[in-house]
Amino acid sequence: MSFLTFDLTHIIMALVFVILTITLLCFQIRRHTHVPEKINNSTMRKNFFVVRIVALVLSVIILGVVFLTPTGFVREDSYTRKGIDCIWLLDTSLSMGVEDIKTDNHTVSRLAKAKSIIEDSMMAHPENRYGLMIFAGKARLVSPVTTEHSSILSFLSNIDSKSIQEGGTDFKEAVSSVLERFSKTDDIPHAIVLLSDGGDPEDLDSDAVKSLFQWKKATLITVGIGQVKPSPIPTGTSPFGEMLYKNFHGETVVSGLNRETLKNLASIGKWAYMEASDWDDILGSAFRMVATHDIIVTSQENTANTTVRLLVFLSLIFFLIFLLLPSFSLKQWNAL
């Protein structure tokens, strides 16, 4: 057991408890010495007196320990699980707002489709631990790898194509930011699933990305989102409700699925490229192939709350012993 902090305040509190204990101890001893000799010679009553003093001292000391904010003991548990650690790498650039994905008689944006793939996959494979990172011109971690899937899904629902203000599609920074989350010595299988429309061809620096995977036990799966046929990139709506599109030098900017970039990334990451329409079977198979063995996971639980409750209970028990243990003639002794 250790203590959360031990500063001047705690030192003063400790001194107060020490002084209080010594004062009560002296008071009891002085009262005991003033008991008539024939009474004071009783062995049983002397024993009662010693027990009461010890109980009082222990009660005060234990209560003092509680005020020092103990952090409790750290308990480790090990268990075996199947699955992998997977980080979703989600492209949130403006081009992901293009609505060219047809589903159930209506059209949705590329980003909406990517988010639904993440959600459905997590529901289909709950044995894995997941994390979430979004990127455009910069990358930002939304959730570290966790078994709390509901929290990731909650964060995911609030993500849109304006979640990152920096424009562009910087694959190198995105992949680098994800790989930093994986330890070189960790034996748990790692997978990165990148969901994107591929951006522009010049967005990928293959050599720079390839160098990032050295000494990393991670595979990269890429999922292409969108139609190959280019479509205008929406930027919002006008005050009159009309859709506004990205414009450059008077011309409307269009974007289509860039398969080659995503295939190159998958090749660098030593895994596979797939398209949104095929994600279910292929992604599930990829997860099963990456998870080649059982994983022994060690979890730590801090018992601070339990420790404090136990100490308070012990302090109360000792104080009750001090109060209730029979003593000779309380009226004469005036021990309390």
| 262/232 same-domain check | yes
| 237/219 same-domain check | yes
Q: Which of 94, 27, 133 is closest to 233 using CA atoms?
A: 94
C-alpha separations of 328 from 35, 102, 331 in Å: 9, 91, 9
Domain of residue 228 covers 79-296
Q: Which two tokens stand for residue 311?
A: 């100490």
| 141/283 same-domain check | yes
As a whole number of angstroms, the distance between CA 158 and CA 155 comes to 6
Q: Which of 128, 113, 139 is closest to 257 using CA atoms?
A: 113
| 116/134 same-domain check | yes
| 146/257 same-domain check | yes
pLDDT tens, residue by residue, 1-26: 444 444 555 566 666 666 766 776 67
Q: Regarding predicted confidence, which is higher, 159 or 332?
A: 159
Burial (CB < 10 A; 0-12, 13-18, 19+), residue 224, is buried
Q: Which of 134, 171, 334, 137 is closest to 260 using CA atoms?
A: 171
Stretch among 58-62, 131-135, 165-169, 290-294 having the lowest mean pLDDT: 290-294
Stretch among 32-36, 110-114, 264-268 having the lowest mean pLDDT: 32-36
Q: Which of 125, 264, 143, 132 is closest to 206 using CA atoms?
A: 264
Number of domains in the chain: 2
| 220/289 same-domain check | yes
| 287/326 same-domain check | no
| 192/312 same-domain check | no
| 162/91 same-domain check | yes
Task: Give the CA count within 13 Å in the CB-facing half-sphere of 47.
Answer: 3
pLDDT tens, residue by residue, 48-88: 677 777 777 787 777 777 766 665 544 555 555 567 888 99
Distance of CA 186 to the CA centre of its chain: 18
CATH number at residue 165: 3.40.50.410
Specify the 3-state DSSP secondary structure of 105: coil
pLDDT at position 329 over 50: no
| 232/140 same-domain check | yes
| 134/228 same-domain check | yes
> pTM (2 decimals)?
0.63
Q: What is the mean pLDDT of residues 291-320?
A: 64
| 157/290 same-domain check | yes
As a whole number of angstroms, the distance between CA 141 and CA 330 comes to 68
